[in-house]
Structure 1
Amino acid sequence: MPDLSSLFVTRLYRAPLGEHGPAIDQPELEATCYSIAEDDEAGQEWCEENGYPGYTSYASLTDLAWRMPIFADLVKSLDAHVAAFSEELCFDLGEGRLELEDLWINILPEGGSHSGHLHPHSVISGTTYVAMPKGTSAIKFEDPRFPMMMAAPPRRKDAADELKTFRYVAPEVGEVLLWESWLRHEVPMNLAEEERISVSFNYKWV
């Protein structure tokens, strides 16, 4: 019998947000996201000028944790999750640490999508989910080797999850997902009538 093993595993961390750090009231977090979006004229203008569907605070606000106490609590919880994931990844941080680099709101309307991308210059990226209406899009992850599979045939539909070229993960409200920032991902079109709300973030090594 051949000896098969897996090389260079790509980890995805998934956990309830409240598992570490202070509890987050999800309805309050949702209301706060809408309140910030309504007041953020610079963010609204950036979204309109760049053809961005819905709303994001990515290009306009860098101080959410200072503006709203619930975001300060959210950061405390995320810090703990990232520390746990770092341990699972066996990172040797030396005298350094992983520190929040940026944190932003995403409100994706019906028909909106986020095209494939990665987060350069960061170490760990992730998202916590605030509103996931029935029928809304999952997050899609791409095998990081995909650009080098020039002559490879496609995988069968019944292939094991770890062998698939793309993986779709449908998170629930109150969950957090973490991955290494080089992992390419996207959000396919939101087919739900209601808005899909999430808060995304990056951590850097300092």
Structure 2
Amino acid sequence: MATIDTLFVTKVYRAELAGAKAERLNAELEAASLSIAEDDEAGQRWCAKNGYPGYTSYASLNDLPWRVPVFGELLKALDSHVAAFAKELEFDLKGRKLVLDSLWINILPPGGVHTSHIHPHSVISGTYYVTIPEGASALKLEDPRLGFMMAAPPRKAKAKQENRQFAYMKPSPGTVLLWESWLRHEVPVNEAEGERISISFNYAWQ
């Protein structure tokens, strides 16, 4: 009798903030994000210099949870989700915690993309989705072993998600997605007619 074990699992955490409180949070985050994008000249210059479509505060603002109260409110919610994910991953944190290392705004216009990348120097990364218009792109996740599969045949069109080389996570407003920071991911072209607004973040072990 043969047995098959599932080893070296890559986990992605998903939660949904819903209800009137989430609607109010998203409305305030959207307004704050658009206002900051309009005023952040350093961020605008960085985006133009680096060919980044739309706007990100990644390279210009590092204190959003302390600068704007609604981002501080979001941080409190994220802390609890990151703690739950760390528990599921069975991290031995040696009495220390995973704490926010960085948090930034992303505003992706129609036709914009965010190419494949990882988040070095952190443990857990993730995104909170504020505004997701119809047709907005899903998050694309890549099998971390892909570069070693030189002779592997392609997977069947209807293969189980855990056997595919890429996975797509389609968010809604209020979705929290978390993954380990080494997991390569990208945002394919935004085919919506409106802007896709999200808040990304990293947690480090301190």
Kindly provide the CA deviation profile for residues 99-152 of structure 1, in whole angstroms up to 9, marking residues without a partner as x. Answer: 100000000001100000001110000000001000010000000000110111
Are 2:150 and 1:174 equivalent residues in the alignment? no
Pairs within 5 Å for 1:100-111 = 100-111=100-111
Rounded Cα–Cα distance in structure 2 between residues aligned with 1:29 and 1:18: 15
| Aligned amino acid, residue 66 of structure 1 | W
Rounded Cα–Cα distance in structure 1 between residues aligned with 2:65 and 2:37: 15
Match of 1:117 in 2: 117
Rounded Cα–Cα distance in structure 1 between residues aligned with 2:9 and 2:160: 14
Name the SS for the 2:48 alignment partner.
Answer: helix
Match of 2:54 in 1: 54
Are 2:152 and 1:148 equivalent residues in the alignment? no
| Aligned amino acid, residue 165 of structure 1 | Q
Rounded Cα–Cα distance in structure 2 between residues aligned with 1:98 and 1:205: 5
Moved more, 23-32 or 188-197: 23-32
**Post-superposition, which runs of at least 4 consecutive aligned residues in structure 1 deviate over 6 A?**
none
Q: Percent identity?
A: 63
Kindly provide the CA deviation profile for residues 18-44 of structure 1, in whole angstroms up to 9, marking residues without a partner as x. Answer: 69xx85621111111101111101000
Rounded Cα–Cα distance in structure 2 between residues aligned with 1:164 and 1:2: 23
| Aligned amino acid, residue 100 of structure 2 | L
Match of 1:40 in 2: 40
Match of 2:134 in 1: 134
Rounded Cα–Cα distance in structure 2 between residues aligned with 1:182 and 1:17: 25
Q: In 2, are the aligned partners of 1:18 and 1:77 still within 8 Å (CA)? A: no
Kindly provide the CA deviation profile for residues 137-178 of structure 1, in whole angstroms up to 9, marking residues without a partner as x. Answer: 000000000011011111010111100000011011001000
| Aligned amino acid, residue 125 of structure 2 | S
Moved more, 9-18 or 44-53: 9-18
How far the C-alpha of 1:17 sits from its partner, in A, is 3.5
Rounded Cα–Cα distance in structure 2 between residues aligned with 1:116 and 1:78: 24
Query: TM-score under structure 2 normalisation?
Result: 0.96
Match of 2:187 in 1: 187
Rounded Cα–Cα distance in structure 1 between residues aligned with 2:111 and 2:15: 28
Match of 1:71 in 2: 71
Rounded Cα–Cα distance in structure 2 between residues aligned with 1:102 and 1:28: 20
Match of 2:25 in 1: 25
How far the C-alpha of 1:95 sits from its partner, in A, is 2.4
How far the C-alpha of 1:191 sits from its partner, in A, is 0.6
- Taking only aligned residues, the RMSD between alpha carbons, in angstroms, comes to 1.3
Distance 1:63 1:18, change over 3 A: farther
How many residues align? The count is 204
Unaligned runs of 5+ in 1: none
Kindly provide the CA deviation profile for residues 56-82 of structure 1, in whole angstroms up to 9, marking residues without a partner as x. Answer: 000000010111100111111111110
Name the SS for the 2:104 alignment partner.
Answer: strand
